[in-house]
Chain A
Amino acid sequence: MKRIELERITKSFGAGRSAVRAVDDVSLAIEPEEFFFLLGPSGCGKTTLLRVIAGLTAPTAGRVLLGGRDVTGVAIERRNTAMVFQSYALWPHMTVRQNVEFGPRMRGVGRAERRALAAASLGRVRMADFAARKPNELSGGQQQRVALARALAARPDCLLLDEPLSNLDAKLRLQMRTELRQLVKASGTTAVYVTHDQKEALSMADRMAVMDTGRVVQVGRPTEVYDRPATRFVADFLGEANFLSGRVAPGAPGRVETPVGPVHVAPDRCPPAGSAVTCCVRPERIRQVSCAQPAAPGAASLPATVEALTYLGDTRQYLCRLRDGSAWKVLALGAAAGEAAPGSGVVLHFAAADVAVLTE
């Protein structure tokens, strides 16, 4: 239940010229009881950062504070963090109960209380009936729950989860998302969760940090990060995005001139006139209409040609070519009437509020 602060954490591997900065000057503050996500592609440094918090990796520079106390030099076992490993790392020579009792035991909790804690913890993840089993007699989903029970039974100040769902099959993963979030939130523990799966982060996180090549690119609530990506990388990494470069027009607030026509954006988020910007629009925010309909006011209307159509069951995905040659994706609900055939001309409509403005 403690606040986690990272101050200018850097971790380099190797030495001299061949040194690689796995984590590069990262500062973050994670609030008590917050479920915080570190999201990024593989190799972005998110797992290294998690291991720095746990004390499994010593940072090259910077400080880690847990509840205001500097723990940078503190040994792993004295940090009172509990980790759920990607491989679960359930000790194969101990039973499920022994695994779960391990944390309390190391903290000097008496036998009876230890039993009770383990039973309660296993009960919470619905694994009480399996206490006498060995880990290799459990399925992947069961092992995952035991790993979580083991971490929770230690009553940690903060819970660290390293891609805990990545070894499960797709269906189970989906089901575990909700369950895992409920368990973590019910425990009231500050939790840090590492994943490369954007859907996991968007659906489970209170707040998240998107990382790229060792740096934190953007921090925010899921809706903020999805709707207002700070960079092209973030926009691209979280779902699909269409981009259009242009320049802010003088004299007309919120109007961006692009090679394919003007695009209106929310004036309060628009940089000063003359700035070079990139407009970013999510495929599901675009409405595609035939050329005959008149343009709605305040929205952009970009003429395009349908190039390909992919049927996805619940949705249809169109690939459209703008006049300047750039390819845009448009998502329409599967049941929507008026399927545009490839080769036909269309107009792409979207509201000013749905345009994110990138200035990089």
Chain B
Amino acid sequence: MLAAAREPRRWGAYVLAALIAAALAAFLLTPIGLVVGAGFVHEGRASLYWLRRVAGNEILLAQMLNGLALAACTTAACLLVAVPLAAVRTRCRFAGAGLLGGLLLVPLILPPFVGALSMRRLLVPYGALNLLLAKVGLIDPSAGPPPDWFGTGFAGVVVLQVLHLFPILYLNASAALANVDPAYVQAARNLGASPLRAFVRVTLPLMRPGLFAGATIVFIWALTDIGTPLLLGYEEVVPVTVFKELAQADVSPRTYSLVLVMLSAAVGLYVLSKFVFGRGGAAQASKATVAAETRRLGPLGTLGAWALFGSVIALALLPHVGVVLTAVSGRWVNTVLPSRYTLEHLWFVVTRSDTYHSIRNSLMYAGSSTVVDLLLGGVLAWLLVRGRIRGRTALDGLAMLPLAVPGLILAAGYVAMTARGSPLEAIGPMRNPFVILVIAYAVRRLPFVVRGVSAGLEQVPEALEEAGRAFGASRLGAAVRITLPLVAANVIAGGVLTFAFAMLEVSDSLILAQLQAHYPITKEIYRQAASGNVDAANIASALGVYGMAMLGGTFAVAGALLGRRLGAIFRA
């Protein structure tokens, strides 16, 4: 009787699952396959020729190692910054904690390129910081060249990436901390462990899966970042090389095999580290049995917390401040702050057609991909949590794959898919990239929606839906009247984040939009920044200010809706 009643639901679930799997196969697996395949073809035959050429190329190998070192440094530094902040924020109460915790997320809304531009302006030998130091007499400009605080190069890239990416780990660490039942720590303290030992021996191991998830995202992000190295002039990494080669009309198989090497490195590392650090962790008792004891900090403690949060926030907001100042500066030469302010640039970018169009394009691309993601991701999350279908794990893995596959690789795959002569040429970058860009954005951000909505669904007891059915609601009716309102916050937050990240997207935007009329905002910023015009930095920064404003708004909405659960979205 029961089995018979479930049968139709199962059929529907399988049909939906099959449709989604087909879509993901077409637009996720195919491009990856094309890239991988292309790397193995030489003169029309399967061969390891290109792979050998890449492997034998010392410059490329050095670039690969550079990238790994870069990503490792960035991830480690992010962990060092984020874990103490999260621990203080979740375990202590102090005045202004909410405000400071919120400000920590602001770095996420930094549009690409302009942050690097502004940091360079602030920190180079003759930049604002040294001018300020000279002015107050701390350094003597006549005694030789002033210090280069940030260098360009490796250290600069790491600093900028850390300042941009640590909030992802902060969110993850906070969520992981909130999930650790305080009774575990209390039991350890009760049996004689000091607070620090209890944290190291009990809390940290229990946080490991959450930290691992965040660290993976940061690592892959840093490994495949194009924007920061490109603008800081640190070009000895693979993504920059790939980007330059993909921008050419005819793409050599060598590029694809380069991408293949990168993909193997990313996936290989992901699997390896998942095996070493992320193994299921330990399933914890499902719900906390005692309320977390938060410690109210005294005046000294509050001061310390403010110093800790304040210094990180001040550093992390430097690029933003620089962007805003650059956007409104009329004249900023050899002075600490601009010597003349103007709204000209901000006005300029919304009135001139190419910059204005880029804003409009981005809103369209990001908006459309968000709608696609919400529909696809919502259904997928429901199937994964409630669908009771076979092959759930495989489907889940497929949906999470974009987190492990660098955007650059997918972009390269889309280029290959829409290459001249292929049936999909019409949606390729050389014609109108609207469709392929929306698909690219949607595929890349799908994990955020799936994770966000799943997290919500898992918190809604199925009994609530069953009760709805028992009182006469149809399956759809129960979903719309009961489930949807209960997970609305997660759905909206997932959508908002998808939108924000699509607006910020770099690799797809740079590679797939090749005609100026179709440039999204990120590519336009890059074009302006690299144009070499006198006011290039100002115009790029002005665009950046609009980007920041839009993203800031969306994050504020997401944060207000989700609170601490925001971290669940960044879980691989």
Contact = CB atoms under 8 A, between A and B. Distances in A.
A134 to B, nearest CB: 7
27 contacts: A54-B186, A56-B293, A57-B293, A76-B189, A78-B192, A80-B192, A82-B190, A83-B187, A85-B187, A85-B289, A87-B181, A87-B285, A87-B289, A89-B181, A89-B186, A89-B285, A91-B187, A91-B202, A92-B283, A92-B285, A102-B191, A106-B188, A106-B192, A106-B197, A107-B192, A134-B282, A154-B192
A17 interface: no
A89 B282 contact: no
A93 interface: yes
A142 interface: no
B184 interface: yes
A317 interface: no
Given A55-B190, A83-B186, 20 more contacts: A56-B190, A56-B293, A75-B194, A76-B190, A77-B189, A77-B193, A77-B194, A87-B183, A87-B289, A89-B184, A89-B186, A89-B285, A102-B191, A102-B193, A106-B191, A106-B192, A106-B197, A107-B192, A136-B282, A154-B192
B191 to A, nearest CB: 4
A77 B183 CA distance: 14
Query: How would you classify the secondary structure of chain A's contact residues: helix, strand, loop or mixed?
Result: loop
Contacts of A81: 190
Complex A-B, nearest 6 residue pairs according to Cβ-Cβ distance, in ascending order: A106-B192, A92-B282, A93-B282, A89-B183, A87-B289, A103-B191
A77 B197 CA distance: 11
A91 B205 CA distance: 10
Given A134-B282, A136-B282, A136-B283, A91 B191 contact: no
A187 interface: no
B191 A77 contact: yes
A218 interface: no
Contacts of B206: 91-93
Interface residues of B, number: 25
Interface string A126-146: 000000001010000000000
Interface of B: 181, 183-184, 186-194, 197-198, 202, 205-206, 281-285, 289-290, 293
Contacts of B181: 87, 89
A86 interface: yes
Interface in A176-224: none
Nearest to B293: A56
A75 B181 CA distance: 20
A346 B290 CA distance: 52
Interface string A97-110: 00000110011000
Nearest to B205: A93
A223 to B, nearest CB: 33
A91 B293 CA distance: 18
A91 B184 contact: yes
A54 B283 contact: no
A77 B188 CA distance: 8
Contacts of A82: 190-191
A85 B285 CA distance: 13
A106 to B, nearest CB: 3
Contacts of B183: 85, 87, 89
B181 to A, nearest CB: 7
A55 B192 CA distance: 12
A85 B191 contact: no
A80 B191 CA distance: 7
B190 A77 contact: yes
A87 B206 CA distance: 17
A154 B194 CA distance: 15
Contact of A77 (B192, B205, B283, B293): B192
A285 B184 CA distance: 47
Nearest to A154: B191
Which of B183, B187, B193, B285 has the most chain A CB within a 10 Å cutoff?
Answer: B187
